Amino acid sequence: MKRIIIVDDESSSRAILKKIISDAGYSVTLASGGEEALKKISASRFDVMLTDLNMPLMNGIELTEKVLQIEPDMIVILITAYGSIRTAVEAIRLGAFDFLSKPVNKDELLLIISRGIEKATLLKENLLLSRELKRTKNVPVLISDNDKMKGIMENAKQIALADSAILITGEPGTEKQELARFIHNNSQGAKYEFISLDCNTLSDDSFESELFGHIKGYSKKFISANKGYLEIAEKGTIFINEISKLSSYVQLKLLRVLNEKQFSKLGENKLNISNARIIVSSSEGLEKLVYERKFNENLYNKLKLFEINIPPLKERPEDILFFFNKFVEEIAYSKNLTVKEISPDVTRMIINYMWPGNLSELKDTAERVVILCTDGVIRKELFPENILEVEQYKDLFANSSYKANKAKAVNDFEVNFIKKYLKLCKGNISEVGRVIGFHQISLRQKIAKLGINPKEFSVKK
């Protein structure tokens, strides 16, 4: 049975909350203030702390900070009669899971408690999974506990069985090459070569030479003959990273390969046949580039038939702890270093951080802290400053304009709050309205105004 401690200086409030939570099947302990709560939490393990914000001697914010030093994994929910954006941000910055305003809605309270316990359970399961995962060469980076990613991986397996060209999109650092390799490993050509070409680092003529090959004496730059990857790969896979960087001329040549499976070496008129599969990636929106006439429309239409978009890490927090542990383990092993423990407060910090660089940034950060770790324990102090600051909050009051900051804070709060409950209610707007006490018609208007798509949160059957 999950244990919950209720902290409130008003006896009537404690009694009401105890009845609601006890009737829902939880074990409840009461505390009349911060000092009493700290004594009980130091002496016994609790899963959730529900605390009033405004209390004498020690308020809810101060209590939250001290409790999370004792129990970094504690789920903390604050209750306030004076709900404000600034208070909410401060509480969440310190590690609180969520907040409620008085008078407390019973259904909303139980929903938030349930969601908090679910998150804590998930973090533990991911930690166990990462420790139990045996190191093998072929384990793909894109193992995921996120429902959307699981669907993507299943879809990728199905597409892999054909030999069609594939477009993989997503933010930088989302490991698009790893998904391409996963598709290759699940394809009919898995026993053949997987070759990667990066348009970020190759000039057009170098790219053409690498892909198509060239004959001896083709130019002063390419004196010796060179076999291109279309010839070498045979029935394997060629992954082209950041295809938007290619010139329109090379895009046309690539379109011919996709349409006819034919190519010519540079300096040679003879047609060659290639059975290599082409997978490409782009961090830029190709549809927008087509509209701007910066990308070949026919090539885009060919590629988009099988387009896979990888969501950023911030949209799949389930994966953050799993991959961090996995990267730490792998990097420590490869560098012959010892990591005995990851400090519990690190867990909360990396879950709160938004990871704009996605898995690449997460892996680089793991490498940094493993190298800096001298006593076998990874602590918060080893992380770079931008992560310690919890970057997603640092620009909330970035300038001196009251109106601008208020508008931004309110907008950010509304978007995040509504998205959270759409996710909890699986995209059901009527259910969200009931839970948060918002009239359904007004809520639909608000969702449209904020540009939120409820379908993103619905369960696909």
Q: What is the CATH number of the domain that holds 272?
A: 3.40.50.300
pLDDT under 50: residue ranges of the chain: 127-128, 130-140, 391-398, 461
In a domain, 134, yes or no: no
**Which pLDDT belongs to residue 347?**
79
Among candidate residues 375, 393, 411, the one where a domain is terminated: 393
Question: pLDDT tens across 362-414, in order?
Answer: 999 999 999 999 899 999 999 998 888 763 444 444 455 656 666 776 777 78
Q: How far apart are CA 34 and CA 36, in angstroms?
A: 6
**Which pLDDT belongs to residue 7?**
94
Query: Using a CB cutoff of 8 Å and minimum separation of 24, what contacts does 363-367 make?
Result: 363/323, 363/327, 363/331, 365/324, 366/324, 366/327, 366/328, 366/331, 367/327, 367/331
Total structural domains within the chain: 4
Nearest alpha carbon to residue 51 among 72, 29, 71: 29
In a domain, 130, yes or no: no
**Which pLDDT belongs to residue 31?**
93
**Which pLDDT belongs to residue 102?**
81
Q: Count CB neighbours of 82 within 10 A.
A: 9
Question: pLDDT tens across 42-71, in order?
Answer: 887 788 999 988 888 898 889 998 988 877
Q: How far apart are CA 186 and CA 184, in angstroms?
A: 5
In a domain, 24, yes or no: yes
Residues 41 and 97 in one domain: yes
Note the pTM of the prediction, 2 decimals. Answer: 0.56
Among candidate residues 338, 363, 393, the one where a domain is terminated: 393
Among candidate residues 93, 125, 157, the one where a domain is terminated: 125
Angle between helical axes of 106-132 and 11-23 (0-180°, round to 10):
60
Residues 350 and 299 in one domain: no
CATH code assigned at 38: 3.40.50.2300
Residues 301 and 187 in one domain: yes
Contact (Cβ atoms closer than 8 angstroms) between residue 372 and residue 185: no
Residues 209 and 241 in one domain: yes
In a domain, 132, yes or no: no
**Which pLDDT belongs to residue 85?**
59
Nearest alpha carbon to residue 87 among 447, 388, 393: 393
In a domain, 354, yes or no: yes
Q: Count CB neighbours of 328 within 10 A.
A: 22
Could you list the residue range(s) of the whole structural domain that residue 205 is in? Answer: 147-310
**Which pLDDT belongs to residue 146?**
77
In a domain, 133, yes or no: no
Contact (Cβ atoms closer than 8 angstroms) between residue 257 and residue 240: no
Residues 330 and 301 in one domain: no
In a domain, 136, yes or no: no
CATH code assigned at 333: 1.10.8.60
Q: How far apart are CA 176 and CA 170, in angstroms?
A: 7
**Which pLDDT belongs to residue 404?**
65
Residues 74 and 113 in one domain: yes
Residues 341 and 284 in one domain: no
Residues 303 and 175 in one domain: yes
Residues 166 and 265 in one domain: yes
In a domain, 113, yes or no: yes
Residues 152 and 300 in one domain: yes
Residues 237 and 284 in one domain: yes
Residues 414 and 386 in one domain: no
